[in-house]
Every structure is written in structure tokens, then in C-alpha cells.
Structure 1
Amino acid sequence: MKSVASFTAAVALLSGTTNAFWRMPCRERIGLMRLDPIVDPGTASSHGHTLHGGSNLQEETTYEMLRDSNCTSCQFEDDKSAYWTPSLHFIHENGKTEVVEQIGGMLAYYLLLGKDIKAFPKGFRMLAGDSRLRNFTGAVPDPPLAAWTEEDLTQFSLGQKSLGFNCLHYKKPAEGARYRHFLPTKDYMDENCADGIRAEIFFPSCWNGKDVDSDNHKDHMAYPNMIDGGVCPEGFDTRLPSLFYETIWNTQAFKDFPGQFVWSNGDPTGYGYHADFINGWDIDTLQSAVETCTDPSGKTEDCPVFSGALLSEPEMMQCKIESQPKILSNDDCAGPADGLCGNVPVQYGPAYAAALKPGDHAEPTVKPTLASSAAPVPTLSYASARSKGATDAYGGGISVYNVEETPAMPTLTSTSVSTSTSVEAEAETPAVTAAALADDAISSDDGIVSTSTYTSEGIVYEVAIKEIAVTVTVEAKRRRHAHMHRRDREHGLLGRH
């Protein structure tokens, strides 16, 4: 019981989201190669990727092809989806380049945020991130959610904030997911990240309800205004599962070696980190999982939809791509080699990077250049979450918070959604309709004095107290749940397990 009779207030519903999710381990990559049938169909990709999921991934890949895969590197044997991100490499002082060891494959989280969530349709594909970005336009670190401005709520800004590079040190409390939107410098990782770096990226989850793809593979999707929840922009009212990728890289293997880390697209900053997804689920099975996998543990073993069809780690690790494209026969993306596969130059920024060219390339002739001046990224000190993030044996697991309070939502205005991906462009604030506000959240106009939460029938409700001309008493319970959280009031961190 919490009395608020000491001030005049009214109660308004902010949001209701279930705490349901599952995380899909994909314990081994099916390939490390220049393959990207979304951005570079029919030819060699401009840069290398670490690929996971269904084995029938080719230069041009359809939904039906993925469904015909002989195997999958993911735990549920009927998830034939394709998941990929850039790979991380180390450039030695002499220019020799080699891939960094990837630990535990990939974790793909399916977070069920919002209401009436629909399965990804047949032929659905999407891209998160921008390979050419080399800077960050927001405040460092992120301000608390309650302090977000209209600029923080643009699609461009939300996309930048969807990235995270979690410094792993298992003898310390875990950092919050997406606390740091850039790859730390090598000196910082040598000193602080004893168990490597976990790269993280959130995909948009608001769909226009009609297009399974778009010209830039982004415009059919949009982020909700809290990235991992909140309000969808007008015209993107269909909620899909919220995808969140994690990959862990053993950067400590290069401790005290002179050189630096760089992503396979030639990005040493991390700002250009990105990820791709092609749906390979049986649609009815995925919809059943969306409606059934409500256990807060997030374990696939705890969902009856997956019962009896889960692969062991050795089975996952045996799955490899069925046929490497001939155009890639001379590639060596693992190294050691004289440069990055695809002959990719290292581009430091902060200017928008030059576009990379797809297609066949000779062995690397562009010797990577190491930065000789100041680091291209800022420094953020190690910042632990309030409680240690629950991890699996490989260190995967979105960090956990025991939330005492939930900050008020930032003020929202009604303008059009921007789909620009250029670093110079100004993205506009996502549109918010009255219906959307009633469904998911309310605008935090002047007069909101506090917020609280309560849980009913598995749904977490957030309540805003707003000054009006009457006095009321509010009954509410503070949520302390090990598997849901909002932003840390001090650091603006967020994560979900």
C-alpha cells in the first residue's frame, strides 16, 4: 500500500509488457566468409561475417531454401533462420590480421515485448545497424530514460543506442547491456576485460505490417521509443518479436600484443557494428512459441513448443554451411593474412566511411593501418549493474536489474518517422498516436511527479502519478523481478534476461 494523499494526483497506465522471452543458443558458426544474401545477393559480400543457423545459406537465399537446410547450428532443430554479424579481427603491428576466437557461438534472444505479437512472416528479413557509421551523436554515457529528449527518440538515435559492447570480467558484477555503444580501446580491454568483449545489438520490433523487406532492408521496420519496449511509431503498429544478438570474443588472447582490434567491415570503433536476420521458422511453430514460451527463465528447455526437438551442443557444432560459394574459394577470413578478407581498408572516422565494394577480390593487398594518434572512441569506466547478470557457461546473458523505481517516460511529440541512415541526416521523432499511447504508454507531460509498477497475471504495469485537482490513494507494488528491468537511474543502462 502506498498512499499519495500528500499531493494531488491521478493514475494513468504507462505500459504493460509480459516478462516472457526465450534465448536461442547457436553454439557454433556455420561459416566465416564474405556471404550476405541480404545486402549483397548473388555475389561475394564486401566483408566477412560470422554466420549461424540454417545450413542452406547461399549468395541468394529464399525462405524455402532455409527451410530445406540439412541442419542448424541453433538449439531448436526446426529453427532454420539465418543470423549473422561482422567478425572481430586483430591487426598485429606488422599488419598481419587474424580472426579473434569466438566463444560459445551466438545467443539470439526472442523478447516478447508489447501486445498481440505476431510471428515473423515467410520471406521476412531485416538489418540492424549501419556498417558505415564511425561516430556517435548522442551524450556519453546515455542519459537516464527520464531525461531523453526528442533527439534521443529519433530512429537514427535509437539505432545508435541499440548497440552494446559489454566488458566481461566474471570476478566483477556484470556491466549493463548496451551501456557502451563503441568498442573500447585495446589498452582498456587489456586492463579491464579479462573475459573478453560481448558484442550486442537490438533489432527494431515495430513492423509496417505489409512488407517482408525494403530497399535498404530497414524501412519496413522501426524501433519502439524505448528500443526494448515502449511505443511504436505511427504506421508501424504490428509488434514482432524483439531480437537481440550476443557474440563473445576472446580479446584477452591478445593481451600485451601490440596492435588493435577491428571488425571485418574495417571498423575499429564499433559504431558500424550491424547484424542481419532472415526468417527460417515454420510460421505456425514460431507463433505458437510466441504465445506459449512464457516461462521467465528464458530457457528453451522450459517451453513445451521446443520439447523433444532440442539439439545437444555437439550436434549444433557439427552443422556447417552446405556449399561454400565458388567465388569465395580463395578467401581466408580467419588468417593470419596480410589484411582483412575482401581487401577491406580500415576506416577510422569520424566521417561516414566510404562504401565497400562487393564481388570477387584478390588476396588482401591493402595493408591495414594502425591509428597513430588519439583513440577514435571515448573511455567509459567499468560500470556494474545493480545485480550480477545471469550468464550461461559461455558468458552470455543480458544483465539483470532489481528495479526499485521506474523513471517517467520522456515527452513525446507527433511527427513523422525518419528512415535516413546517413550520419549527417537528422532523423525525426517517431510519431505517437493517441491509440498507441493508450495501448503502450502515456506522454510524460509536465505534472508527472512519480512512477511505480505492479504485476498482474504475468503482465508488468507501470503507473505514472500526475498532478490534477483531486486527491487519491494509489495501491501499487514495487517490482523486484530477476528477469525484467528498466533503466538504471544513474547510468541509463538497460538489459533484460
Structure 2
Amino acid sequence: MKFTAAIAAAVLSGSAEAFWRMECRGRSGLARIDPLVNPGVASAHAHTIFGSSGFTATSGTDELLAGDCTSCAVTQDKSAYWTPPMYFKNAATGQYKLVEQVGGMLSYYFLNYAPGETKITAFPHGMEMIAGDTNQRNFTAGESAPTTQKGLAQKAVGFNCLNYGLAAEGSLYRHFMPDKAYLDANCKDGIRAELMFPSCWNGKDVTSKNKMDHVAYPSTVMDGSCPPDFPIRLPGLFYETIWNTAEFNGVDGEFVFSNGDPTGYGYHGDFIMGWEETFLQSAVDTCTNYSGRIEDCPLFTIQTEAKSQTCEIKKPTGLLATVLSAEDLVGPIAGLPGGVKLTPGPGYVVKGAAPVSDASTVVVPTLSHSAGSTIAPSATAAPGGIFKENNAAAAVAKVASVTSVEAPATTEKPTLSLAANQKISKTSYLTQGGSVVEVIVIEEVTTVTDELKTKTVTAESRKRAHRHGRRHN
């Protein structure tokens, strides 16, 4: 008989930690609704919404849990995940059109322990939080590793230029939205918006006035040490959304998020906990595979993609319905939903300030493609802007003073020797603790003669496969 054994080899140093990838293939809503920022009324800008059908302008955890369905793959997850959608402004017509969202969204749950710890605490009942700042229009985190929460938050936003013909860029590698010319020339498969949430909690409050002050980022954004006042480690939420910018390749215009931000610095996301707390704690304690596959967690009940795509939020009622029912959020439309104006910065957006009418005047940095696997662990900035705590100088673009930034220096990766009966089957990349890991799966073929019969069986031992260079639709 003939069989294939798969061997995973970590070529670069680094430690893989458990995670799972929550697939939310169906969009449950597209509306100007935001129960965290504008409870009970129409929100300032449009949102693309995923998760529980119980999502409303006033919903919390209880209302989400009471929802009839979820647009995510795991039926026990009735959380709400939402971000601003992307629009394309046509230069010839001045009209806006919603950019296609490819494959819904992914929400990663990283189980990254704090140094010396072995405990991850599930989100408590009622937990709600916001990552990112809708009014940010420049990058002020500086070139060295940030020491403030504001700096870490700016590093937690990323835009990954997708070209499936090249090696993948690292997560959070670029902290700004590339301009139209760069997207047309380099990102033939679109752009992936990325957002990391804080994973350190004060252990007391499930919310705060600004939905941020009760949580904090660890020292290296995705992992590292928590601040002393935020000692409880939570699952690390990481949002990924792919936008089909390639649909507008060759068309004169610009991309802008629904909050009026063409820079990407103001990208943000919201989260309301929608799990049964005891169940989520069991999942955190039990589902510690490196594969990232929800199928590898025995606790999860997984619904079909077709089923998840049928789940929708209920239509608003009363005065809110009157305000929102006539809105066209898809386009082409004359302006952004809610009358939002373009605010390209570089100054911080102040409510009531006069908007800039021509966003094309903003200076956009450039950052060339850099494959995630080519940066050595000793580099000051790993792909994704995930840095070591002793980092002295990371290559970061500043819109206020820099118009072009080179990618971090690269070194050749180690050579892997293969036996005659071995071949590389596939590779994947992951970033942990400032180190980049390239995982190579090697197929080793062994032939055994059986005079009675011949049978082919394939078995593959999977390591963590956080495949940022592949489609997730």
C-alpha cells in the first residue's frame, strides 16, 4: 500500500499558541446602527454587522443571546461583531458605491498567555468594547515600540495588500490604507482590513463610558505583558475583512470608509459578548488546538455556510425605522450614508469642524510588499508591526512628515534539506511574540507492497495554519 505522512517543520524560531478562527460568512446586517456609541438612535455612519439576529440599536449580551440565529459558523456564538464598510467614490460622477465584502468576516480568538501564566479568562457576561479610533487620521505612535495605550492601539490596525501570486504579507504590516494607484498596481486580490482588540481586562468592569478604558493592550499588541491595572488575560480578538477593491481597477476615484476616512487610520470595530459565559470558558480551556479550525473543537456545534447566510437582524421599528428604512447603503449614491463628509486629515477629526472637500490632497505613505517569511526573528519589526519589547527602531510610515517608507530589512531564510522521498506540500506563516514562524508541511512518501491488495490513504498532521496569504471565502 502507499501512504503519505505529513511532517511540519518550523524553520524560523517562535512559539505557536492555540487559537480558533470564527468564520462569519453571512452578513447579518448593513445599517446605521451602533448600540455602543449611539444607543437607541441612528448611528453617525453605516456599519457592516455579523453575528446574532438579536442585534438592535439598544442590544446587549442578553438580547444577543435571545436572538434566533447567528451569521457565524458556531451556533453557540451569538456575539455581535461590526465595523465600518468601505465605499468607492467615482471621480467622474462623484458618487459612492459599496465595495463588495469577500467571504464575510473572520474573527480570530487567540489564546495567548501572559508571560509565566497559563490562564485565559473568558469574556464576562455583558462585555463590550471598541478597538480603534474613528477620528484618527494620522500615525503618531512613533518609530520605536509604543509605551502608551494610544500607540499600541494605532499599531493594532492593519491593511494587508492581497496578491495570491506572491508570498503573504504579515498581519498588521501596514497601518494605513494604500492609495488607489498602489492598490491597482499591487493588490490584485483586494485589501484585507485587520484589527486587533485589547486582551487585558481590569477584572471589574464589563464596559466603560468610551468602551475602551476597562481593557488594555498587552505590551506587544497581540501578546506580551498586561499593564498592572489590567491583570486578567482575555481571548485576543482579531478581525479580518477582505474588500474587493480590484473590482474598481482602472477606474479613477478613491476608497473611503463609511466614517469618512480615506486614510485607514480611523478604522475601528465593535464587539458585544454573545456567548454563554460558562460555555466560552469551557471552550477556552478545552479548544487549545494549533490548527485554528473550529472543527477541531468538540464543544462547537457548526452550522452550514448556507444556513449562516440566512441569518439577518430584525428591521428597526418606530422612529428609527422611519429614519433608516429609506436609506440606500449600497449605491451608487450621492454621498456617504448619514451625510458623512470626507475627513482626510492629517489632523484629528473634531466634531463640528468643517470637512475637507477634496480628499485627494492628503499625502499617503507607501510601504512596499514584504513577504511575511523573509523577516528574521531578530529584526526590529516583524511583519504586522508586531515588535519586540526592546525594539529600538521599527520602520513605520508617518503621514505628517514622510511620504515614502522602505519595508524593513530582510534576510535570507534558512535552507531546508529534503530527502529523495520528501517534498514541500504547503507553507503557512504566523507571528507570535515578535517572531515570525514559517511552517512548512513536508510530504514523505513510503511505498509498501501488499500482495493481497493496494490501498491509498492520506494522513496529514496539521500544525497551526493561520493562512493570511489565502482566500477565506
TM-score by length of 1: 0.72
Unaligned 5+ segments in structure 1 are 1-15, 358-365, 388-400, 413-479, 490-494
Indicate conservation of the 8 Å contact 1:30/1:52, yes or no. yes
1:194 aligned to 2:141? no
Matched with 1:383 is 370
Instruction: Tell me by how many angstroms 1:59 deviates.
Output: 0.8
The alignment yields a C-alpha RMSD, in angstroms, of: 2.7
2:428 & 2:95 partners in 1: Cα distance?
48
Equivalences for 1:165-204 in 2 at 5 Å? 165-204=159-198
> Residues 166-245 of structure 1 correspond to what in structure 2 (within 5 A)?
166-245=160-239
Question: Match of 1:108?
Answer: 107
Contact 2:137–2:264 (CA under 8 A) maintained in structure 1: yes
In structure 1, distance between residues paired with 2:431 and 2:159: 20
Q: SS state of the match for residue 252, structure 1?
A: helix
Amino acid at match of 1:331: E
Shifted more, 172-181 versus 480-489: the winner is 480-489
Q: Look up the match of 2:263.
A: 269
Aligned positions, number: 378
What secondary structure is seen at the aligned counterpart in 2 of 1:153?
A: coil
1:17-56 matches, within 5 Å, as 19-56=17-54
Is the 8 Å Cα contact of residues 269 and 376 (structure 1) preserved in structure 2? no
C-alpha deviations, 1:424-466, integer Å up to 9, x for none? Answer: xxxxxxxxxxxxxxxxxxxxxxxxxxxxxxxxxxxxxxxxxxx
- The answer (yes or no) to whether the contact 2:372–2:429 under 8 Å persists in 1 is no
Q: Identity rate of aligned residues, in percent? A: 48
Q: After superposition, what is the alpha-carbon deviation per residue over 1:195-219, rounded to whole angstroms, capped at 9, x for unaligned?
A: 0000000000000000000000000
Judged with a 3 Å threshold, the aligned counterparts in structure 2 of structure 1 residues 204 and 171 are, in CA distance, closer, same or farther, namely: same
Could you tell me which of 292, 302, 325 is aligned with 2:286? 292
- 1:333 is displaced (CA, Å) by 1.4
Following superposition, which runs of at least 4 residues in structure 1 exceed 6 angstroms of deviation? none
Question: 1:354-369 residue pairs with structure 2 within 5 A?
Answer: 354-355=350-351, 369=357
SS of the residue 2:372 aligns to: coil
Bigger shift: residues 98-107 or 403-412 = 403-412
Structure 1 segment 315-464 matched on structure 2, within 5 A: 315-325=307-317, 326=321, 327-355=323-351, 369-373=357-361, 375-386=362-373, 409-410=388-389
Residues 270-320 of structure 1: per-residue CA shift (max 9 Å, x gap) = 0000000000001111101101111111000011111xx101110111111
User: Which stretches in structure 2 are left out of the alignment for 5+ residues?
Assistant: 1-13, 381-386, 392-426, 437-464, 468-473
Shift of 1:484: 5.3
Write the distance in 1 (CA, Å) between the matches of 2:336 and 2:356: 8
Q: Does 1:133 align with 2:132?
A: no
Q: Which residue of 1 aligns with 2:241?
A: 247
Q: Residue 283 and residue 372 in structure 1: after superposition, are their counterparts in 2 closer, same or farther (change >3 A)?
A: closer
Q: Distance in 2 between matches of 1:219 and 1:162?
A: 16
Are the equivalent residues in 1 in contact too, given 2:152–2:221 (CA < 8 A)?
Answer: yes
Matched, 1:98 2:45: no
- Once the two structures are superposed, residues 197-252 of structure 1 have per-residue CA deviations (whole angstroms, 9 ceiling, x without a partner) of 00000000000000000000000000000111111001100011000000000001
Q: 1:279 aligns with which of 273, 286, 296?
A: 273
Question: In 1, are the aligned partners of 2:223 and 2:433 still within 8 Å (CA)?
Answer: no
Partner of 1:83: 81
Find the aligned partners of 2:139 and 2:433 in 1 and give their Cα distance: 23
- Give the letter aligned to residue 189 of structure 2: D
Question: What residue in structure 2 maps to residue 313 of structure 1?
Answer: 305
